Amino acid sequence: MTPRGLVVGDPVAEQALFEVLLTDHGQPGPYEGYRRLRERAARLRTSAGLVVLSGYGDCEAALRNRELGKVDESLGFQLAGVPEDLQRRALRRFRRTMLFRNPPDHTRLRRLVSSVFTARHVEALRPAVVHRIDELLDGFTGRDVVDVISDLALPLPVSVIGDLLGIPDLDRAAAAPWVRDLVAPLEPSADLAAVQAAVDAEDQLAEYFADLLAHKRRRPGDDLLSRLATARGDDQLDDDECVGTAILLFAAGFETTTNLVGNGLAALLGAPDQRELLRERPDLAGPAVEELLRFDAPVQTDGRTALADTTVGDLDVADGQVVLLLLGAGNRDPAVFTDPHVLDITRSQATSLSFGAGLHFCLGAPLARLEAEELFPRLLARFPRLEAAGPPTWRTGLSFRGQSHLPLRPGPPVAA
């Protein structure tokens, strides 16, 4: 171990890391693996040269360090066996978005859309979000079993971001499945089939949004895609930037929120005392959502590359070094969170890392929080006898943790 606490090439730590990255963890999640890794090597440099951080303080410092930027190495860490030309095609337009750009391009791209996601603008959406939630909950009445993912967690954020972007209602459900394929190369375990599916999905999404943006240029409306399509001067985007940004906003608008709702409900079902407390105390919705984000994060990992020699806390990071941040591990760091494996919706400790921090802090975080803060109390008040109707089906992979199916019995409703 170096004086600064960096463990180098430890085979036990590397084995723990590989198990975390490449195992389908299902309901228990990767948290026991995170604990083993953090206790053995909270700062690890693998024999392949990758620096891995799993403590809360290090992850937060890395997220806030502007010398740790976004470049192609951050797209994936396990693309062995994928032809180089296919790697270049994967997420080709996504790489032109703010998600993978550094200042000044990041500043220019984010400025064009950021006003739509301010706290004031998002708050104005609350009545429409509540209306959407109530409509979806109305559909639970009289049904023995519902799938919370397909019946609530997915359609709610898809409809909200669809309204903001100006995507026709009939197109939203068809386009959403492509997003799941699109983000596959961001998983450490991405293989040839997943990367090929991502290339095909991006092509489908690009064709759709290119046509829609062309329509918005001819007949602009009061929506975000019209703003992108008609921007001029310093704000004008080239074709790939415009299409890529449209894809990014649509994908980010529901992917994280869907996982937050599904993971959060699974956590509440596993902690009946906390579920009942939230039902009795809807005023706890804000801290409850923060705790659910911490407890089982929708986004578990992030990647950065050093753009110059820098330090993370007291750890020296060399120019060009690729750094993997295990955000889900940081969220369970016992140095920051008391009893980190216990769900406590009254917790008032540090903010979770689930939306990132610093320059690349999730633009849509206020909207995701609003949707979840309205949804959980209204669902529990409307269906107080909600219970599991079978085991959930968890998606494969680590970076985006969530479920594809979560069957529940809503029970008899209480009048809204």
Rounded CA gap, 369 and 307, in Å? 32
- Asked if pLDDT for residue 1 goes beyond 80, the answer is no
pLDDT in tens, 365-378: 999 999 999 999 99
Whether 415 maps to a domain, the answer reads no
The model's pTM is: 0.93
Percent of the chain with pLDDT over 90: 69
Whether 245 maps to a domain, the answer reads yes
Q: Which domain holds residue 196?
A: 7-409
Q: Please identify which residue in the block is written with the tokens 């700062």.
A: 43
Radius of gyration (C-alpha) of the chain in whole angstroms = 21
**Strand (E) positions, 134-257?**
146-147
Q: In the prediction, which pLDDT does 65 show?
A: 97
Whether 155 maps to a domain, the answer reads yes
Whether 416 maps to a domain, the answer reads no
Whether 379 maps to a domain, the answer reads yes
Percentage helix, strand, coil for the chain under 3-state DSSP, each rounded to 5: 55, 10, 35
pLDDT in tens, 27-72: 899 999 999 999 999 999 999 999 999 999 999 999 999 999 988 6
Residue 388 bridge partners (DSSP): 408
Q: What does DSSP say about strands 51-53 and 322-326: parallel, antiparallel, or unpaired?
A: parallel
More confident residue, 4 or 294: 294
Q: Please identify which residue in the block is written with the tokens 């559909």.
A: 139
Rounded CA gap, 39 and 160, in Å? 41
The amino acid at residue 4 is R
Q: Read off the CATH number of the domain in which 112 is found.
A: 1.10.630.10
- Asked if pLDDT for residue 120 goes beyond 80, the answer is yes
Mean of the per-residue pLDDT values for the chain?
Answer: 91
Whether 292 maps to a domain, the answer reads yes
In this prediction, residue 4 has a pLDDT band, given cuts at 50, 70 and 90, of low
- Asked if pLDDT for residue 2 goes beyond 50, the answer is no
Report the number of distinct structural domains present in the chain.
1
- Asked if pLDDT for residue 318 goes beyond 90, the answer is yes
Whether 317 maps to a domain, the answer reads yes
Q: In the prediction, which pLDDT does 80 show?
A: 57
Nearest to 91 by CA among 293, 258, 248: 248
Whether 329 maps to a domain, the answer reads yes
Tokens representing 169 are 């209602």
pLDDT in tens, 65-86: 999 998 865 444 555 567 778 8
